[in-house]
Structure 1
Amino acid sequence: MHSSFRLALTTVAVLSAISPSVVVAGEAEKAERIVITGSHIKRLDSETASPVYVIERKDIEASGAMSLSELLQLSPYNGAGGFNEALTTGFTPGTAAFDLRSFGPERTLVLVDGRRSPIYPFGAGGSGAFVDINAIPLFMIKRVEILLDGASALYGSDAVAGVVNIITYDEVDGQHANLRYAGSERGGGELVSGHWLGGVDFDSFRLVYGAGVFKREEHLGADSDFANSLVTPAFANLLGGAALDLRDFYSGEGSVYNIDTDTISHTSACPNQNIVDASDFGFNGTVCAYDWAAEQQLMPETTRGAASVGAYWSVGEINFAARYDSVIVDTTSYGSFISSTPTAQQLETINGEQVIYFRRLTDTGAPSIETESVTHRLTLSANGTFGDFDWNSAIYRVDNKVDETLANGWWLNSRVTEFRQAVANGDFDLRNPMDAATIAAYTQSFGHEGSSELNAFEWRMSGPVLDTERGPIWLATGVEARQESFYDRSDAAIINGDVFGYGSSGAEGDRDLAAAYIEVAVPFTDSLEVNLAGRYDQYSDFGDTFNPKVALRFEPIEQLLFRASWGTGFRAPGLHQLFTTLNTGSSGGLPFIQSGNTELGAEESSSLVAGFVVAPNSSFEFSVDAWKVDVENIITNLGATRIANLCIGVSDPDPICAGRVLNAGETFTAPDGTVYTATSTTINDSFLNLAGRDAKGVDVSTLVRVPDVFGGMLKFQLSVTGLLDFSEQPFPGVRYQDRSGQNGNPEFRGKLTITWDGYAVNHALISHYVGEWDVANTAGNAIFSVDPYVQVDYQVGFNLKGEHRVLFGIKNLADEQPPYSTTAWPFVNRTLYPTLGRSAYLEWNKTF
């Protein structure tokens, strides 16, 4: 058993012995109305007409999560397009994004205290816009509100599938210290963290401050049964064939090909498990295969530091606030580049026979990327009252600066050529390991940097405008102005594609926008209220848009609420999609180009939600909501192959072919002014408004409170979402294809939380469910099925004398292995399933 488990179990035993017995009942939870995301009208006596999933601070603590991405990963509402720091490939190592309803992170609006954050300067997959939720420290979060409804009429762009509003502390009583240690049973991913959160109050002035550190070691494939090798017997059963073997022909130990006998043999240094029959590669003999899985990261090494300070004071009837937050995230990752090290061959004569010795140059180590992401957030705000109206005004700036260094093991393409020539000339013996001087002579580091900034001003007011016999008519209105800018810049070698095994990205642009909105809540009867909202947005790039929303609240009796809403939404073109610089490539021997497109229009959507809430008393709540979201004009690339099939050699080409094929001599101008001249038939695969995506489903939730159970409060909370339909259209004129239950979109997801809160001891048992789904091909035909996944987490807390509190928890109590769901390493979907296995944590808290 791993040392962290022994330490934690011993501590729990001691605490159980010294902790005082439960002698009084836990105080029943008090119903508290709060201003919920989904309306700008400030009323404490009424919930909005849209469903909101709220994760309170007690829920955050009971989850055992150490980051916002970890908290949300197993949420019932996390979609296939989300990702976390486990995905170290591409240009965004160490980051995380949340995806509501599988519409993509760029169609889920992320707010912090109701205000926007800038996009991460490097796009997911090169061009996907997202807000890095790992840049929001968990210890500063008071609660998380997830609006499960489109809300562009209230918040503008990106609120297509819904809104995640992260509410941070603006008031803290006393001083709170926290330390935590966590480790997995198999090893890897060891974590140490601590934070201090405090506040002081001087009548009309208060100060809130906090600081925290977080360090997690890397988690490797070697620490996992399912990802420690590129040979995967499981797929023999799934696919009805032989075991899947993704090992490479070139290994670091090398192999020898005898030209005269036409046979291959492995070297004596080859590990037995990597000696492979060469017939798998089309040769005679045996070869030493390269199995890099054990060395690859399932999770990178990450260090985070955060600090926050907020000052709040009053002058007469006006309240002022100044808040500054800073987060630094350092990540060391290998990405998928561990398999991209160069190879070389050496021609020799041994015992009169010609042989070729070949191997991979693993001497240089895994190509690593060191990333430092720094986020600063400064907010100045004021609020007060004017008659019966509340008003609020704020100016804020948020910037995210990322410095990325391709640190170790990287080669220029030209240096690879030079090294191979040195081997051919006999200047270097490939059988000898490369010494430090040789490695330093041939490898070097490269720089990649980005920055994203958001400057904004907002003003809003709300209050009753007219009293009627059925109650007041409420009004909210406001204006907003923003300026957004970003850049993604690299060393010339990266831009020119000269770094071996690494791609290139580049973009730079900005835009301005202004918006105004209004919201009215009208009581038509004592039980029926109609909420009308509309927002006008004017962008400096694509133009303007107006989006309305109408919502109904019908409460025939106090214990029953019917609700419904309909509205339109939009997503402004992503800055990467507008301003990405020119990239070139080849597909099937046909050259293609990709670039941003400054002529893009906005994506457009509509959403419909209808349901009811039953709450006969304070001990029971039950809700059902059916929802539907449709999006069209989705910005995407068609793909060079598809464009060639649609547009080349076709007598009646599709209308989308206009400008998609460049003949020899024709030119294309990228957003940065770069002019490309085609020397032969070339595909233009730049971004277009093309795709469509529709989805519908149902959300069910229930909450049961049972007071005075063994002297404490017992609570059951269940949330389930069902995906009834998820259809996609790649471009106009092609039929929609149902993808529900396929490719990372399970038809059902759920979460059950059982807690018992006593005076001195608290227990929490949380069960997460991810339903089965099929891996399907492009035609929608299932290749194999992915099993359901159930993870059970447990936590016990002890309230000790002197305001001490100790928590012990086990995540993935049954050590459930994520199901095999992809034929690429690590063979599991890291968006949907954690990979750490059973892990334990021990946490100490002290209030001063």
Structure 2
Amino acid sequence: MSGDIRRRSATGNARTFLSAKGIFMHRKLLASAICASLVLPLWANAAKAQSQDGSSSSQDTTQTDQSSSQANEKNATKLKSIQVTGSLLPRSQIETATPTIQITAEDITKQGFTTVADALQALPQATGSVQGAQFSGGFTQGAQTISLLGLDPGFTLFLIDGKPMADYPLLYNGSGNFVDISTIPMAMVDHIDIVPGNQSAIYGSSAIAGVVNIILKQHVQGVTMNLRGGGFSEGGGGSQRFQLTGGHDWEKAKLTYSLELRNQRPIYRYQRRWFDSNNDRPGLAAGQSRPALDYLLVDLFYDQIGTDQFFVPGGKASCDRVAGGSDNTTVYATDAAGRGNFCGSPNSPAYSTIMNGAKAGTGYLNFSYDISPNAQFYANGLLNVSKTDYYVGTNYTWWGSGQDYGVIYGANVDNGSADDGPGSFIQTQYTIDSSANGIGNAANETDLNRSYVANVGFRGTFGDSDWAYDAYYHRSDNVITTRQLHLVADKVDNYFLGDQIGYDPVFDYYPVFNLNLDRFYSLMTPEVYNSLSEQIRTRSHTYTQEVTGTVTNTNLFDLPGGSAGLAVLMQYGNQKWENPTDPRLINGYFWGLTGTQGEGTRDRYAAATELSLPVTTWLTASASARYDTYKAAGRTDSKATFKMGLEWRPVDTLLVRGTYATAFRAPDMAGLFQGESGFYTNVVDYYRCRVEDGDQFDVDTCPYNNEQVQGSQAGNKNLKNITAKSLTGGIVWSPSSNFNIHADYYRVNISNEVSQRSINGILSLEADCRLGHTIGGSPVDINSPRCVEALALIDRNNDPANPLQSGINSVSTYPINISQEKVTGATAGAQYHWDAGRFGDFNFSADYNVTLDHTYQQYPGDPTLDLLSYRTFPREFKHRESATINWTKGPVSTTLYGLRNGPTMNYKETGTVGPWITYNASIQLQVNDEVKVSLISNNLLNKRPPRDSTYTAYPFYDGFNYNGYGRSIFAELEWKLF
């Protein structure tokens, strides 16, 4: 298979997700292939205002010098300092020109989150929808990420201790590189810094939406064990976690270590009562049932007049033979649109996972040795091994004759019509039952992941001077092995159809088979499934590595406001992406399955500098610049970026700040090196629509407006850099140590954004070329270069004598630098600490993000789309806010956290959906100096995802923005062993 494989999908319950930026692609064939034309058409916690008991609330900040010694221990301080996220220079000010959000490990626990990914996805700034475990049949169902500021996940740079993480080896939406954050262990996380906006002048490529820097614990004394376990009140999802963290100091050396083991059970859709069947569909009358089209025959020429009709040879008796399907809920059913009968269960779509099953182990070591008072050697490594299991469900585990043969003539299939003779022109749809009565979990997919991050280096000062250095080698490596058992096309076709016995007696065109009705109306067993399938296994690999040297001086020369600072960085690195494919996928060996492939390496060089100038006691200016060079595919591309910042403090309690920066993203590895890769999607066949209904056809009523086709895409080695500019401005007011309020405005403009050439655009142009004119009547030459190119990208069953039979087999596309995007917004937050004396301590925080404007233009001359209101699905949040209340008295600490996801437009744009408000809660008891126990709940009130009455496709909610997990409850024990 490809390092990533994609399959077709079934039962007419799934829907293609169209966004203004293109199409959400499936790796698997959706089982609506024959039915598509038949069915009716708070800013999370920013830095901490520490209370006396150690509890904390969010506050806007940057990471300060974490030296354990005081400033007068000059050399030791330099050795132990950690750079501020978003800067090459250590900073003494808590607030700087760059707004920074910070979440501590304690926050993540107290606010009810179980993983780093959970906490980051709840950020008010993470306003965009993302694909993940709930996107069945997608390309990266085993991974998690975020969309910062509503921008592409690939526009956010993820770091561990300021150093880049390797890309996930599989491709987001089948076309782009991104970073998976699902495997980051909680055991060693100290805190996480999030810096929105352009940061390329410090970090280079990809830092357009911002930077997420995960800071690990650098120094631990003693040994602490942590046990955590729990599950979900609706069932499924039970998990256990073991952590052991410790450290030891010697005279010149320090060692910190950690081990984390995790076990996570999956959640299946049938375990959630609000979408455990098709009967949860909005608008369904009480007592009404809506079975899925599980065992379906469609006569395409019923009554010999071209009418489509569902029918069941043998009637109810045939359906009784599969009545055990979906745990004994399959029935003889009548189509709600009056098209006939079929066998199906309303429960069959629910046999898929929305939370992956996983087992993982992570180890961490951090070692340092003081060579001299001015020099230190350090090395650290983080190793993760995980196994993830998930099931895409019956929508994607099925068989149909249309995949390999299109329409067939069933010589032995009688539709029961008195006006028709023996034999029928049919298409078939057979759902492979995944309940315990069918194949069970035989079709589950498994991802085996092994990743590591390693660093080795030297840091210190040049003698007793103010010049400090840090030189290191860094490597981040990610390997994923995917494994699944999948149907072989020839085997499964022969199982149901046997050998072809000629061509139809009417047109002498369609292949004739004797459909095995006994097998069609029987549940497939695991043994049969295994005999018709073969194992697909592939290993995909990415790495990034670099050698970096940094020199800093925070006391370069004196200015009226203090000492100027200078930093200089030099860097060389390279990266690799390897996503091989099983050649059997390319030649159609497996039924309804496609995938991605590609391989390439790239070298990069960079130089950067930063200058901090405290011009006066109330005004500080900063400037940074970076020059990056990339060499790949026989080309060399370079890009210079810069950033300027101002901090104005008219009084001690007020900071007015602003930045202006440029950024870029080098073409990602897939964009350059992706080989011919496949996907499945739904399109409008403009040519057949215009042939049947004329140039002014109504796309909503055209029978070819939702054709499922196989697509292919490949890289483009002529891609250029994506460029961006950003502006931020804001204020921070802190009249006392107990109160802080902040507000910031941001704007990001992106140019030369990469988009796949529009498939709908290709098909629309093809129609103009074949018909010789546009919809408006302008002539089009079919021999023109643009027509020749468009026609070469489309493969049809071309029948000039009967254009309506000229269905699309496949469409090809490729990436180009073409699009423009702009997002503006504002964030605000406040933190307050109240010492209530004998009643305890209270901490309050509230954080808010509003996206003021988000526009996108895919092609020059296209209308500029407002992504906040344009008819796209899934939607983006305009408003997102969070709030936290913490109360601590003596050994007891309680926290209530709320997250409000603002309203979004409903599917048909006739109203809004939401808001969706959820609450998390925790209570902690410090039993003694060594033992602490906690009880933690996520989604305390068990709120279901908001219901969209206009969205009638299963599972009836937007799984890209909301989760259907429900309430979780966990107990945790922390024991300091020594």
TM-score, with structure 2 as normaliser: 0.76
Give the deviation of 1:223 after TM superposition.
Answer: 1.6
Give the deviation of 1:471 after TM superposition.
Answer: 1.6
Count the aligned residue pairs.
800
Judged with a 3 Å threshold, the aligned counterparts in structure 2 of structure 1 residues 760 and 653 are, in CA distance, closer, same or farther, namely farther
Distance 1:499 1:466 in 2: 69
Distance 2:331 2:199 in 1: 58
Partner of 1:396: 474
Distance 2:114 2:568 in 1: 38
Give the deviation of 1:321 after TM superposition.
Answer: 0.9
Partner of 1:204: 252
Are 1:573 and 2:692 matched, yes or no?
no
Q: Is the 8 A contact 2:496 2:520 kept in 1?
A: no
Give the SS at the match of 2:182: helix
Distance 2:946 2:727 in 1: 34
Higher relative contact order (CA 8 A, sep 6+): 2
**Which protein is richer in strand relative to its size?**
1
Give the SS at the match of 1:494: helix
Give the deviation of 1:545 after TM superposition.
Answer: 0.6
Are 1:538 and 2:538 matched, yes or no?
no
* RMSD of Structure 2 on Structure 1 (CA): 3.5
Partner of 2:917: 790
Give the deviation of 1:292 after TM superposition.
Answer: 2.1
Q: Is the 8 A contact 1:807 1:844 kept in 2?
A: yes
Q: Is the 8 A contact 1:256 1:264 kept in 2?
A: no
Distance 2:517 2:282 in 1: 46
Equivalent of 2:448 in 368, 372, 390 = 372
- Cα deviation, 1:565-587, whole Å, max 9, x if unaligned, reads 01111111111111111246896
- Cα deviation, 1:521-544, whole Å, max 9, x if unaligned, reads 112222111111111000113600
Are 1:26 and 2:53 matched, yes or no?
yes
Give the deviation of 1:547 after TM superposition.
Answer: 0.8
- Cα deviation, 1:592-647, whole Å, max 9, x if unaligned, reads 75210000001111111000000011000000101111111110113222123247
**Paired residues for 1:281-360 under 5 Å:** 282-285=338-341, 287-289=343-345, 291-316=347-372, 317-336=374-393, 338-343=395-400, 347=412, 359-360=430-431
2:722 maps to amino acid: E
Partner of 2:853: 725
**Paired residues for 1:122-201 under 5 Å:** 122-201=170-249
Range 94-103 or range 607-616, more displaced: 94-103
1:505 maps to amino acid: T
Range 714-723 or range 461-470, more displaced: 461-470
**Paired residues for 1:450-529 under 5 Å:** 450-463=540-553, 464-529=555-620
Distance 1:658 1:163 in 2: 43
Distance 1:578 1:123 in 2: 13
Equivalent of 2:535 in 433, 442, 445 = 445
Equivalent of 2:295 in 250, 253, 258 = 250
Give the deviation of 1:827 after TM superposition.
Answer: 2.6
Give the deviation of 1:203 after TM superposition.
Answer: 2.0
Judged with a 3 Å threshold, the aligned counterparts in structure 2 of structure 1 residues 258 and 177 are, in CA distance, closer, same or farther, namely closer
Give the SS at the match of 1:756: strand
Are 1:632 and 2:751 matched, yes or no?
yes
Distance 2:107 2:791 in 1: 62
1:610 maps to amino acid: G
Q: Is the 8 A contact 1:197 1:210 kept in 2?
A: yes
**Paired residues for 1:754-833 under 5 Å:** 754-775=885-906, 782-801=909-928, 803-820=930-947, 823-833=952-962
Q: Is the 8 A contact 1:820 1:827 kept in 2?
A: yes
Give the deviation of 1:497 after TM superposition.
Answer: 3.5
Are 1:381 and 2:450 matched, yes or no?
no
Judged with a 3 Å threshold, the aligned counterparts in structure 2 of structure 1 residues 681 and 787 are, in CA distance, closer, same or farther, namely closer
Judged with a 3 Å threshold, the aligned counterparts in structure 2 of structure 1 residues 589 and 302 are, in CA distance, closer, same or farther, namely farther
Q: Is the 8 A contact 1:638 1:730 kept in 2?
A: no
Distance 1:66 1:320 in 2: 34
Q: Is the 8 A contact 1:604 1:632 kept in 2?
A: yes
Structure 2: segments with no counterpart, 5+ residues: 1-50, 66-82, 298-308, 402-409, 500-513, 688-709, 796-807
Equivalent of 1:267 in 292, 309, 320 = 320
1:457 maps to amino acid: V
2:53 maps to amino acid: G
Equivalent of 2:656 in 562, 570, 575 = 562
Judged with a 3 Å threshold, the aligned counterparts in structure 2 of structure 1 residues 709 and 59 are, in CA distance, closer, same or farther, namely farther
Q: Is the 8 A contact 1:521 1:529 kept in 2?
A: yes
Q: Is the 8 A contact 1:81 1:104 kept in 2?
A: no
Distance 1:94 1:358 in 2: 28
Give the SS at the match of 2:243: strand
Range 289-298 or range 503-512, more displaced: 289-298
Are 1:68 and 2:199 matched, yes or no?
no
Give the deviation of 1:744 after TM superposition.
Answer: 2.4
Give the SS at the match of 2:543: strand
Give the deviation of 1:179 after TM superposition.
Answer: 0.6
Q: Is the 8 A contact 1:235 1:244 kept in 2?
A: no
Give the deviation of 1:158 after TM superposition.
Answer: 0.8
Distance 1:166 1:842 in 2: 25
Q: Is the 8 A contact 2:157 2:210 kept in 1?
A: yes
1:26 maps to amino acid: D
Give the SS at the match of 1:493: helix
- Cα deviation, 1:287-323, whole Å, max 9, x if unaligned, reads 4346423311111211111011111111001111111
Judged with a 3 Å threshold, the aligned counterparts in structure 2 of structure 1 residues 806 and 322 are, in CA distance, closer, same or farther, namely same
Partner of 2:156: 108
Distance 1:200 1:748 in 2: 46
Judged with a 3 Å threshold, the aligned counterparts in structure 2 of structure 1 residues 494 and 517 are, in CA distance, closer, same or farther, namely same
Judged with a 3 Å threshold, the aligned counterparts in structure 2 of structure 1 residues 494 and 27 are, in CA distance, closer, same or farther, namely closer
2:535 maps to amino acid: S
TM-score, with structure 1 as normaliser: 0.87
Give the deviation of 1:417 after TM superposition.
Answer: 1.6
Sequence identity (%): 22
Distance 2:715 2:195 in 1: 31
Give the SS at the match of 1:693: strand
Range 146-155 or range 286-295, more displaced: 286-295
Give the deviation of 1:91 after TM superposition.
Answer: 2.5
1:288 maps to amino acid: G
Distance 1:236 1:100 in 2: 37
Distance 2:167 2:973 in 1: 35
Give the deviation of 1:505 after TM superposition.
Answer: 0.9
Distance 1:787 1:351 in 2: 48
Judged with a 3 Å threshold, the aligned counterparts in structure 2 of structure 1 residues 232 and 660 are, in CA distance, closer, same or farther, namely farther
Range 424-433 or range 132-141, more displaced: 424-433
Distance 1:684 1:137 in 2: 40
Partner of 2:33: none
Distance 2:779 2:248 in 1: 73
Distance 1:815 1:144 in 2: 28
Q: Is the 8 A contact 1:635 1:690 kept in 2?
A: yes
Are 1:92 and 2:140 matched, yes or no?
yes
Q: Is the 8 A contact 1:522 1:530 kept in 2?
A: yes
Distance 1:839 1:539 in 2: 46
Distance 2:954 2:246 in 1: 44
Q: Is the 8 A contact 2:793 2:812 kept in 1?
A: no
Give the deviation of 1:225 after TM superposition.
Answer: 2.3
Judged with a 3 Å threshold, the aligned counterparts in structure 2 of structure 1 residues 448 and 142 are, in CA distance, closer, same or farther, namely same
- Cα deviation, 1:105-134, whole Å, max 9, x if unaligned, reads 100111110000111111011112111111
Structure 1: segments with no counterpart, 5+ residues: 1-23, 669-679
- Cα deviation, 1:703-725, whole Å, max 9, x if unaligned, reads 00112444532100111001111
